[in-house]
Amino acid sequence: MRTLPTRTTVGIVGGGPAGLLLARLLHRAGVDCVVLESRDRAYVEQRQRAGILEQGTVDALRACGAADRLDREGLVHDGVELRWDRRGHRIDFPSLTGGRKVWVYAQTEVVKDLIALQLADGAPLLFEAQVTAVTGADTGRPVVHYRHEGVERTLECDYVVGCDGFHGVVRQAIPDGELRTFERVYPYSWFGILADVPPSCDELIYAHSPRGFALHSMRSPTVSRLYLQVPNGTDPAAWTDEQIWDELEARFAIDGDWKLERGPITQKAVLPMRSFVTEPMRWGRVLLAGDAAHIVPPTGAKGLNLAASDVIVLARAFTALARTGSTAELDAYSDTCLRRVWRAEHFSWFMTTTLHTAPGQSEFDTRLQLSQLDRIASSPHAAAELAENYAGLPVF
Ligand code: RFL
Ligand code: PHB
């Protein structure tokens, strides 16, 4: 049987994008770490989620040698289209942001690339290792308790990082009263589909429609990803494929000769939408990163990028600690990240509430949304505000 590590510098709970990128950055910097992931490798690699990477995320992947396939296969996008009132308006990122752009490269692929590199280097990354508790954070010697192949084990750490998502155990291990949480739940969900059909557009389309919001995204030149706003609690099985395509077509309709291509739907899922922030993102020797610390609604594609920027800051802080013995950057971690987190929270809320139609929404509120969209279309300042936030603010 393999010998499992029992002690490390940084114990990372969760092998999603945050945990894997942190591990890769630390491994490259020579800082010892172990990743414990509750699911098996195939599950983690297939989990369909985000699709848009900002410049800062791409830079970090390049810096840790994990961007070869991204640079070959990723689609570079210079803008997005907003649609409302049966017309479209393009937002051009480079001209509005001093040259920024985004990459379409699925979260599944980022995760696959990071896992392959870590395993090839023999870096400790354990699947099917269910963390059950973290103890001793306030004593200066935190211990991660986990179950692997039916055996209860422990990992002693200098620091523990909770990269275990919104439902993870690390945040819950912090005593009540030590954290403040802020939350907003939205009165609608997204019905997401994957379809084997080339995208009907070169860039993403965000559509405001009296029937509700719709988004046309993509995964590759042959695979489309589309979303419909639906009521909370919608059962994906209640919609036939034809109903889904009909509804998408109705919401994207514009005057002119644009056509939505249809194809076989290979996946369907309904995702609730939430804004959530935990403050601070650290308690003693336990730190939180990514969805474990904050959630954004997906309108604006910030979730994965925010997870990446947290761990970029964290990796720098652990590297500085290892090289100089200074905890200054680690001490500043929470404040440094929360500024960016709240900016992303605001932008995601803004995109969501400007583009969706709430149940029972008044005509007054709809007029406000349309006025805001007209403002974006007619003012380079308003368009630049959207473009800067969408393409991503510099990572500190
Ligand atoms: P993740 O990706 O949730 O990964 C957390 C990992 O921790 C593991 N884990 C544990 N491991 C060991 N022991 C335990 N007790 C554990 N508990 C949990 C989990 O198995 C998992 O592997 O968080 P991370 O790394 O912070 O990454 C954040 C991003 O994944 C997230 O922000 C985005 O995916 C959000 N998101 C989307 N963002 C977008 O920008 N665009 C999207 O289209 C989009 N779609 C989505 C999404 C999030 C979704 N979730 C979380 C419901 C669609 C979905 C369904
Ligand atoms: C996606 O491709 O899944 C995606 C793209 C943009 C968003 C949300 C999701 O705002």
> Which atom of ligand 2 is nearest to 106's Cα?
2
The span from the CA of 392 to the CA of 373, in Å, is 20
> Which atom of ligand 2 is nearest to 300's Cα?
10
The CATH number given to whatever domain includes residue 219 is 3.30.9.10
Alpha carbon of 205 to ligand 2 centroid (Å) = 10
Alpha carbon of 369 to ligand 2 centroid (Å) = 21
Residue 186 catalytic?
Answer: no
The span from the CA of 297 to the CA of 276, in Å, is 9
Handedness of CA 177, 183, 189, 192 (dihedral sign): negative
Residues with CB under 6 A from ligand 1: 13-19, 36-39, 44, 49-51, 107, 130-131, 163-165, 168-169, 271, 290-291, 298, 301-304, 307
Q: Are residues 137 and 279 in the same domain?
A: yes
Mark out the alpha helices in 235-327 (DSSP H runs).
241-252, 303-324
Q: Are residues 42 and 136 in the same domain?
A: yes
Question: What is the model's pLDDT at position 2?
Answer: 66
Question: What is the model's pLDDT at position 394?
Answer: 76
Q: Are residues 294 and 248 in the same domain?
A: no
Q: Are residues 343 and 367 in the same domain?
A: no
Q: Are residues 301 and 160 in the same domain?
A: yes
Ranges of the chain with pLDDT below 50: 1
Query: Does the Cβ of 298 fall within 6 Å of ligand 2?
Result: yes
Question: What is the model's pLDDT at position 139?
Answer: 79
Question: What is the model's pLDDT at position 335?
Answer: 97
Q: Are residues 23 and 165 in the same domain?
A: yes
Query: Does the Cβ of 50 fall within 6 Å of ligand 2?
Result: yes
Catalytic: which of 206, 227, 294, 356?
206
Domain membership of residue 311 (yes or no) is: yes
Q: Are residues 382 and 322 in the same domain?
A: no
Q: Are residues 227 and 307 in the same domain?
A: no
Would you give the distance in Å from CA 264 to the centre of its chain?
Answer: 26
Residue 206 catalytic?
Answer: yes
The CATH number given to whatever domain includes residue 50 is 3.50.50.60
Residue 175 catalytic?
Answer: no
Domain membership of residue 396 (yes or no) is: no
Domain membership of residue 23 (yes or no) is: yes
**What is the pTM for the complete model shown?**
0.95
- Report residue 6 as tokens: 């029992």
Mark out the alpha helices in 121-266 (DSSP H runs).
241-252
Domain membership of residue 322 (yes or no) is: yes
Smallest CA separation from ligand 1 atom 40, residue:
301
pLDDT of 119-152, one tens digit each?
A: 999 999 999 999 999 998 877 889 999 999 999 9
Q: Are residues 246 and 383 in the same domain?
A: yes
The verdict on whether omega for the bond into residue 280 sits within 30 degrees of 0, i.e. cis, is: yes
Task: Provide the domain limits for residue 296.
Answer: 7-77+103-183+274-351
Catalytic: which of 208, 216, 294, 302?
302
Question: What is the model's pLDDT at position 396?
Answer: 63
Alpha carbon of 15 to ligand 1 centroid (Å) = 9
Number of domains in the chain: 2
Domain membership of residue 83 (yes or no) is: no
Alpha carbon of 8 to ligand 2 centroid (Å) = 36
- Report residue 363 as tokens: 């005509």
Residue 298 catalytic?
Answer: yes
Token pair 């092998």 is at which residue?
A: 15
Question: What is the model's pLDDT at position 138?
Answer: 79
